Each structure stands twice: as structure tokens, then as C-alpha cells.
Structure 1
């Protein structure tokens, strides 16, 4: 597919042993590639997997990958924090010695905060590696789902961009046809002004000379030629392979530069109107280009 978008969503789920998890990958527009990762504690290697997988698939956009994992109650492991018990006993030793408190019971100590802890990580390194490898596959699947969503957006963008380029091309052609009448209009306008100032004695040769100079300044053929070249360039980028959002964005700036010059050189209200329509269409094109990877 020629173009990819930058927004989308992908999801994958998995399970292994007494662990189960879900992975969500989403992205929005961005000038560069930015990766954000949130994962479960104890699985630190997953962030590198997510970053490498994202960089291998995408060139631009803000990509967020989240992994949520849980362990079944039957498989959860707990441990007694003996150091925490010692701290509680030391803190209450004075009260016991003064006879202000009864000796603690085992169930009372176990109910204190921080004494019983859930083991968040696996004790078996091989089992840990197997779980992380399975989670990594799910991350890859979620990223593939995201990539497919971005491809679908790109497919839709192609039609929109081509329609706008066709509109720009039509306006440029109309501008060229209308601009052909500028020299005669400039001559007639200048001649009328000279007659108004000097009467019928206005020198014809001066009218012709001055009108010709003004027509040269108002000549928009170079702008129209450059616009035609930009149209060809836009079509090539839309039909090409690989990320082209940056180049399309730059080309849009060049489109607008020529359209602005066209309007500033216009000596006809009809040409000015076409120039304004052209600028509005280029702005619509620019807005859509912001979605292209």
C-alpha cells in the first residue's frame, strides 16, 4: 500500500502457566516516532521488545504500548517479611516491658501491613523467560494489528489526497486560462488612467511601454509552471512506497508559496478568486497530509 496513516489501534491477549495478559497498542499523529511503554513489574525486558518492534514497523507517530498481566490466585506466591515483623516487635518492646500491651499473637502479626507480601516475580528464571517470550509474541501481534489499522487509514487517505490534487490541478488550469487576459486588462486600465490624467493627448508609445512593463511584473507563468511541477511531485509521492508524510508536508508549503505569489500578482478579480480557491484547497490538502506517516 503506498501510504500509511498514523492513527490506529491493535490488541492481543495471551496466557501461559498461571499468568494471563492483554496488550494494547495505539498511535496518534506525531512529527517523529515516539514510543511510550507501560508494563507489569518484574518484566523489564518487555520495554525493549516493544520499542524495537515499534521502530521496525513505523517511522512517525506517537505510539503507546500497554501490557496488563495478572497471575491466577492459585498460582500466586506469598512470603513472610521477617524484617518487617522484627521492626514491629522492636517498636512495641517498650509497651510490652511496661505492661501496657499484651504479647502479640501470630495471626495479629500476620495481619499487620507489609508482613505478608505477594511475590510479583517468578522464582524460576527459566519459567520467567518463557513467560516473557510469550508476552513478547503478544506485543508483536498487537503491533501488527496497529500496523494494519494504519494501512487501512492510509488507503482511505490516498483517495482523499488524489481528489484534492485533482482539484488543485483544475484550479491551476483555470488560473492559466484567466491569466492570459491580464496583459490586455493591464493595458486598458493604464491607458484609461493616462487619458484621465492627460486627456486625449496621452502618448500612445508611453502607454504601450508602461503597460508592457506592468504586464511583465504581473506575469504568473513561472508560478503556474512550478505549481504544475508540484502537482506531478505530489502524485508521485502518493503513489510511491515508504513513508512520505514529511516530503508531502514540505511540498504543501511550496504549493502555498506559489499560490500566494499568484494572488499578489493578480490584476484580475477572476484570477484573484481562483487564487483564493486554490489556497483553500491547498490548506485542505495540508490538513490531510498531517495524517500521513
Structure 2
């Protein structure tokens, strides 16, 4: 199953004739649909439709909801008259009617501005397309645009998946560099523990009581055990990397699960750095956190 990004764009246009044609001339209009999407935690659909198309919003919402699971999606659809030069020519009857309405309005509102040419042409286009049944046309065109959008989101998803897999390989290489440093770290901590133990025993021979020396030794031993336990972080980190790779190769709706695993990766890398007793292990931890942060940004765009 492919991995889908939430980012994509697609558009298309189609031509439709009016249901009621005049003799020797069929009014024609061009329908345009575009869909764009960006990342979001949930599916957020927004529609910006021409007045003639508002009644088709529920059907469009159902169409998109069946195919998209996450993302902020904006759908735009409009109608443009396609007469000579893309301009619908108003009929004399319509011009006469507009003039009469304008005169009536200005009788009551003398300060009302006169209709502009652009407004008259827009009203003429509305009249041309008023009798067109756009239901089938917009469903067909929206289905085509949605298919193109899904293809675009799939291509972007594949690119993101390849980048994530590349980052996983780099993280595994860093973990392999850290693995041999664990015995060295243990030995360093052991030496420090022995030094502090001898210090505690020296205190016991002097003014400190044996019970105080024992408590001091137990405290140092506990601190020692916590500090050297970096192998556990490396083991959990490797397990998270394997799970992330499995999800990416499986595909589907993996964005939210990957986001959680990325948080766990960051926690392990951060703990690894906080327990570090060598500059090399600190450098590895920093490099890991840089890669993990880059992965977090990419995962935010996955569905």
C-alpha cells in the first residue's frame, strides 16, 4: 500500500452546453475545479463554490471524504462563460431588463452607482449558465481532479518515505558507532565508583561510622548503575527504528503512529546524551537528534 503525503494540488476544466439551446446557437460555459491540500491533524474540508454550484457541496463533501483521511483540503469550483473571446454576450432583452431595474433602484436610491461593464457581463454569464444542470458535470470533473490529487499526494508520499528510510539508515549507523563505546563507558564509571568507594572507606577509618560509609557506598553504587545503563537506550532505539521501517514499507495511514514513534526516538537519543560520559557519545547523540528532528518535520506531512 502506498504512503500518501497530505500536500498536493490538482485542477481541471470541462466545457458544458446549456440544457435549453437557442436556435442556431448553444450557449456554452466552462466549468473549473481545483483542489489543494496541506497537512492537518484531521480532515478539514473547505469549499469555495460559485453560486450555481453551492447545492452540490454535500455530494462533493461525500466524494472527498471517501478518499481522503487527513489534511486541510480546499475545493474551488467556478463557471466561466465561453462565448467569443471567453465573454458571454448579453442579449438585448437582458440589457433592457437590467436598465429598467437599474432605473427603478436609482429612483429610490439616487446615489446608487451605475452598473459597470464587468458587472453586466457577469450577470450575462449567469443567465447563460442558469439552465445548465451541473450535477453530473461537476461530479465527473471533481472525480478526475481528486484522482489527480491522490496521484500527486502519492508521489510526494513516496519521496518522503524514501527520505525517512535514508534517515533510518543513518541512525542505525550512528547506533553502531555508539555500541563499542558502551564497554569503555562502563569501565570509566567503574573506575570512578572504585575511587569514590575508597574515599568512603577512608572516611570510615576516620570520623565516619561504618553505617555512614555503607550508605555512601550504596548511593554511589546506585548512581553507577543508572549512569552506565546506556545499552538499554540503544536496544529500544533499534526496536523503534525497526518498527518505523516496517510501517513505511507497509504504507497506508501511518502518519499518527510515526509521529508517536518519532517522539520515542527523540526520548531515547536525549537520554543517551544525558548519560554520556565521553565526547564521542555526546556527538553521536547530537547527530541522532538532528536526524530525528528532520524526520519529525517530514512525518508531519504524511497521511
Q: Tell me, yes or no, whether TM beats 0.5.
A: yes
Give the corresponding residue for 1:260: 270
| Cα separation, 2, equivalents of 1:154 and 1:235 | 14
Does the 8 A contact of 1:183 with 1:211 survive in 2?
no
Residue in structure 1 matching 2:253, options 237, 243, 249 = 243
Q: Is the 8 A contact 2:189 2:224 kept in 1?
A: yes
Question: Paired residue for 1:26?
Answer: 36
Shift of 1:264: 1.6
Q: TM-score, normalised by structure 2?
A: 0.76
Alignment equivalent of 1:176, drawn from 176, 179, 199: 179
Q: Residue 180 of structure 1: SS of its match in structure 2?
A: helix
Counterpart-to-counterpart distance in 1, 2:178 and 2:232: 12
Indicate whether 1:15 and 2:11 are aligned: no
Are the equivalent residues in 1 in contact too, given 2:37–2:71 (CA < 8 A)? yes
Give, in whole Å, the separation in 1 of the partners of 2:264 and 2:30. 52
Aligned pair 1:227/2:227, yes or no? no
Question: Compared with structure 1, are the counterparts of its residues 122 and 136 closer, same or farther at alpha carbon in structure 2 (3 Å cutoff)?
Answer: farther
1:1-293 alignment, distance < 5 Å: 1-17=1-17, 18-73=28-83, 78=94, 80=97, 85-86=103-104, 88=106, 113=115, 118=124, 120=126, 127-129=131-133, 131-192=134-195, 212-218=221-227, 219-293=229-303
Whole-angstrom CA distance in 2 between matches of 1:89 and 1:185? 97
What does residue 20 of structure 2 align with? none
Distance 1:264 1:52 in 2: 50
**Structure 1 residue 162: Cα displacement:** 0.5
Q: Number of aligned pairs?
A: 270
Deviations 1:111-157 (A, max 9, x none): 9649x864726798xx533x331122111111111111000011111
- Structure 1 stretch displaced more, 50-59 or 149-158: 50-59
The answer as to whether partners of 2:196 and 2:220 remain within 8 angstroms in 1 is: no
The residue aligned with 1:97 is none
CA gap 1:91/1:147 in 2 versus in 1, 3 angstroms = closer
